[in-house]
Amino acid sequence: MTIDWVAKLRHLLQVLAFCLAIATIQYAFIPDRPYGPPVVYSLFIGTITWTIIDLGRDWFPSSAETGWPTGLAGVVLVLGGIVAGYLLGVAIADRLCVYYGWYPPGAGKAPGEQRTSMLITALAGITGTYYFYTANKSAYLERKMREARRHASEAQLKLLESQLEPHMLFNTLANLRVLIGSDAARAQQMLDHMIAYLRATLGASRATTHTLQAEFDRLRDYLELMAIRMGPRLAYTLDLPAELAQLPVPTLLLQPLVENSIEHGLEPKVEGGRVAVTARRDGDTLVLQVADTGVGTATASGTGKGFGLTQVRERLATLYGTAAALDFSAEDGRGASATARLPTHT
């Protein structure tokens, strides 16, 4: 049996505050009497009642939904705690009130006061029990909602990743088909690179993250594949500072951006151009940028809503929420730039 003592302490403080509130309300109706007796009675009755119910419930089989005993055991525990709390609390408070001279020995309480005290104890005990019962149930429901959101996010991320791999593979196979008819030697070289790339991809397919170094290594494999097909029309640079190499990032995060640059930026340009992938740190933010010298807004990708950009934005939102973002900018005839910002301390 594991008891959350921090939660118990929080419950005790809430009970003490509740008892003081009850004593204050009683005093407000009888201001001609001392404030001490209602405080003493309220604190001892409430504390003993709470101790029996809140600590005692951990010794019974409890519902996972509420953390409270189910069926008759829960009813008996609450009623027993209220009765025992009243009897023991009154016995202790009587002695303290006599000791401090708040009323003389043997004076006790009038029958009307005893009935009122019993009624207040019953109502307060039932109210307090219901409060803690509903608080536990609310906490359980919040946990289940968080789990449901996490599972939904994981499912969405898997869906996005499943969209990405076929997209890249189909593009590469289409390029390979063209080369087979025009340059068999280069097609063979491209096939060798593709096999190496897919082997690396398969090794990381069961993980949602890998190191930034692994991400750049896979980008280099992909760019080598594209360089075989495009020849001198494609140049690229990969700039990864050594101190950032081991930072975790989502797998295949940058590849859709690089594909976007080649497909919509460089390929439509007769002379081709350059793709530059850079990584840098800005405080607690990792900044990853893919920039090209392609046609810029002269293509449909200039809206920033193509497959690659949409896919990256959705993955960042799924993994990091509002802590990450993707910015896209393009200038007609002078290239485009996509910049992803994500936290480094998640």
Residue 152 resides in a domain:
no
The pTM of this model reads: 0.53
pLDDT for 87 equals 92
Instruction: Looking at the structure, tell me whether residues 206 and 303 fall in a common domain.
Output: yes
Residue at which a domain ends, from 94, 124, 146:
146
**Percent of the chain whose predicted confidence (pLDDT) is above 90:** 28
Query: What total of structural domains would you count in the chain?
Result: 2
* Residue pLDDT, tens place only, 252-282: 789 889 988 988 889 888 898 999 999 999 9
| Boundary-marking domain end, from 95, 128, 146 | 146
Same domain for 111 and 55: yes
The pLDDT of residue 303 is 46
- With tokens 């010794």, the residue in question is 59
List Cβ neighbours of 62 (8 Å cut-off, separation of 6 or more).
68, 69, 70
C-alpha 166/C-alpha 143 separation (Å) is 36
Q: Name residue, tokens 């202790």.
A: 92
In a domain, 171, yes or no: no
Residues 110 and 208 in one domain: no
Contact in structure between 296 and 331 (CB atoms under 8 Å) = yes
- Asked if residue 305 belongs to a domain, the reply is yes
Helix, strand, coil fractions of the chain, as percent rounded to 5: 65, 15, 20
213-253 pLDDT, tens digit per residue, is: 988 988 888 888 888 778 889 999 999 999 999 999 988 78
Residues 6+ apart with CB under 8 A from 236: 223, 227, 274, 275, 276, 277
Same domain membership, residue 308 and residue 240: yes
Residue 300 has pLDDT above 50, yes or no: no
Which of 346 and 311 is assigned the larger pLDDT? 311
Query: What is the DSSP secondary structure assignment for residue 139, as one 8-state letter?
Result: H
Domain boundary among 117, 146, 175: 146
pLDDT over 80 at 299, yes or no: no
CATH number of the domain bearing residue 324: 3.30.565.10
pLDDT in tens, 29-39: 888 878 888 89
Same domain assignment for residues 188 and 117: no
| Same domain assignment for residues 126 and 219 | no
| 186 contacts 179 by C-beta, under 8 angstroms | yes
In a domain, 168, yes or no: no
- Asked if 140 and 230 sit in the same domain, the reply is no
Q: Are residues 138 and 287 in the same domain?
A: no
Whether residue 164 lies inside any domain: the answer is no
Same domain, yes or no, for 187 and 137? Answer: no
The alpha carbon torsion through 67, 73, 78, 80 (nearest 10 deg) reads -150
Clarify whether residues 102 and 50 are in a common domain.
Answer: yes
Give yes or no for a contact between 213 and 247, defined as CB atoms under 8 angstroms apart: no
State the residue range of the domain holding 203.
183-343
3 state DSSP class of 305? coil
- Is 158 within the bounds of a domain? no
Q: Is 99 inside any structural domain?
A: yes
* Structural domain contains residue 177: no
